[in-house]
């Protein structure tokens, strides 16, 4: 397969799993931003607007993670119920092209939701060069590791119902319990230590620091970036080694 063919396959997968479903069922768009907007609304009401910024940052991280949970369900459904993955395996389309196409198609869903958050982000005056760069980098890393994690898991699930069970746990462990929607210093010290096991803690710390919500030193920022990039790289390696493109 040449690079041009790969690009064509990639674009077609985005069309198949992203653009066409949105055309046929626009409610998919609402589905993906329902949770982040609910959290934002809740935080806005309870804090009387004071913690809105935390809601915005957390909402963007959660939206990117939702891409991963959505991908996990879609891949499992396509693999077991429709046997679409078997059709793709027995074709020139390579596994990385399939995963990238599917991951970008999920991103297409999340773009309108993300746009809502970006508009609020700019409206409330958080947009500076630094915050935009940090936010973009962090969100891309969150999307990347969520994608690698989702793909690996999806190749092990035997039924789409298993993903329904797993998705809320995924959200709970990665967005609700870690300090994504609030500063880490709200947690008791033992919980702060536990939160360090979640990659989203580092992501949230970076974006919260970039917009001035929490103080962040250069050394902490460097450690946060290293952990995030390292974690993403490890998940990609695991996906490469453990994900089952061909059944054992």
Partner 1 sequence: MATAIRSDHLRKVYPGSTSGSAALEDLTLEVPSGRVYGVIGRNGAGKTTFVRITATQLALTSGRATVLDHDVATEERAIRAQVACVPQESRPLYFLNVEEVIYLYLKMRGLDRVEARRRTRDALDELALTEYRHRSVSRLSGGLRRRTLCAMVLASDAELLFLDEPTTGLDPIARRQVWEAIRRATHERRTILLTTHYLDEAEELSARLALFERGRLVLEGTPEDLRSRVRYPYRVTVLGSFPQEELASYGRVSPIEGGVLVFTREPEARDLARTALERGNRVSMGPVSLEDVFLEVVGRSIEEEAPPTEVEW
> What span, in angstroms and rounded, lies between the C-alpha atoms of 217 and 224?
11
> What span, in angstroms and rounded, lies between the C-alpha atoms of 135 and 203?
9
76-84, 151-159, 184-192, 234-242 -> range binding partner 1 (CB under 8 A) = 76-84
Number of neighbouring beta carbons within 10 Å of residue 28: 14
Site string for partner 1, 218-247 (x = CB under 8 A): ----------------------------xx
- Smallest gap, in angstroms, from Cβ of residue 238 to partner 1? 19
43-51, 82-90, 183-191, 230-238 -> range binding partner 1 (CB under 8 A) = 82-90
Does 154 bind partner 1 (CB under 8 A)? Our answer is no
> What span, in angstroms and rounded, lies between the C-alpha atoms of 99 and 91?
14
Closer to partner 1 by CB, 78 or 126: give it. Answer: 78
In which element (H, E) is residue 230 found? helix 218-242
> What span, in angstroms and rounded, lies between the C-alpha atoms of 204 and 54?
9
- Smallest gap, in angstroms, from Cβ of residue 11 to partner 1? 8
Torsion sign across C-alpha atoms 39, 44, 46, 51: positive
43-51, 87-95, 126-134, 209-217 -> range binding partner 1 (CB under 8 A) = 87-95
Number of neighbouring beta carbons within 10 Å of residue 32: 20
Q: Are 59 and 39 in contact (CB under 8 A)?
A: yes
- Smallest gap, in angstroms, from Cβ of residue 8 to partner 1? 6
- Within 16-35, the residues that bind partner 1 by CB under 8 A are 16, 20-21, 24-25
> Could you list the residues that contact partner 1 (CB under 8 A)?
1-2, 4-6, 8-9, 12-13, 15-16, 20-21, 24-25, 78, 81-84, 86-94, 246-248
């Amino acid at each position: 397969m040449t690079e041009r063919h790969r690009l064509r396959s990639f674009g077609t997968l985005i069309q198949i799993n992203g653009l066409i479903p949105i055309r046929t069922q626009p409610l998919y768009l609402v589905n993906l931003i329902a949770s982040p907007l609910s959290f934002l609304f809740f935080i806005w009401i309870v804090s009387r607007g004071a913690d809105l910024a935390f809601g915005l940052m957390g909402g963007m991280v959660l939206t990117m993670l939702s891409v991963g949970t959505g991908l996990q369900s879609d891949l499992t459904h396509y693999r077991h119920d429709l046997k679409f993955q078997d059709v793709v395996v027995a074709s020139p389309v390579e596994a990385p092209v399939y995963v990238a196409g599917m991951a970008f198609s999920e991103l297409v869903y999340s773009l309108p939701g993300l746009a809502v958050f970006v508009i609020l982000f700019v409206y409330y005056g958080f947009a500076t060069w630094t915050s935009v760069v940090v936010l973009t980098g962090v969100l891309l890393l969150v999307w990347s590791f969520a994608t690698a994690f989702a793909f690996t898991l999806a190749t092990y699930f035997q039924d789409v119902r298993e993903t329904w069970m797993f998705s809320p746990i995924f959200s709970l462990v990665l967005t609700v319990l870690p300090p994504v929607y609030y500063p880490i210093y709200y947690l008791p010290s033992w919980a702060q230590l536990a939160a360090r096991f979640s990659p989203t803690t580092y992501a949230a710390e970076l974006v919260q620091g970039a917009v001035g919500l929490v103080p962040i030193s250069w050394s902490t920022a460097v450690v946060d970036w290293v952990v995030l990039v390292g974690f993403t790289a490890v998940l990609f390696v695991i996906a490469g080694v453990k994900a089952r493109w061909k059944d054992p």
